[in-house]
Amino acid sequence: MTLPDKIAIGADHAGFELKEQLKAYLEGLNIEIHDYGTHSPESVDYPDFAHPVANAIENNTFRFGILICGTANGIAMAANKHQGIRAAIAWKSEIAKMARSHNDANIICLPARFIDEEEAIQCVHTFFTTDFEGGRHERRVDKISC
């Protein structure tokens, strides 16, 4: 898979700095980034950023998103409340790869307090260049919705 043309991104205060770093990296690759905030390190609530990014994917404005908070747990929990969202937490590129190849994830959730910029870039790059394998994994992904 080639890198997408555009990506939605969002983070809370814990993920703000890493969001800015990833934005700079991805914009350097000529990818259009829609930044749903937060726009400063001031304390905020992670669902306020997870839901807009998830909505934008749910309504097909974007195919893929990146969400970042301290652990990635809160932001993934909020995003996964949305129909059609498969938000996967990744902290190493092998996990990011399998989130796409096995789970057809459409949002990568990064734990800013537990990875550095280089690891985050590796995760994001792997996530966005890996195809869903389909086959037996498609049957399993179809069973996720209830």
Known catalytic residues are 69, 102
Q: Is 87 helix (H, G, I), strand (E, B) or coil?
A: strand
Position 41 contacts ligand RB5 (CB under 6 A): no
**Residue at shortest CB range from ligand RB5:** 74
Position 140: which residue type? R
**Interacting span for ligand RB5 (CB under 6 A) from 27-35, 47-55, 56-64, 69-77:** 69-77
CB 32 within 8 A of CB 62: no
In DSSP terms, 67 is beta-bridged to 10, 109
**Interacting span for ligand RB5 (CB under 6 A) from 64-72, 79-87, 91-99, 102-110:** 64-72
The gap from C-alpha 61 to its chain's centroid, in whole angstroms, comes to 15
Q: Which residues bind ligand RB5 (CB under 6 A)?
A: 12, 14, 46, 69-71, 73-74
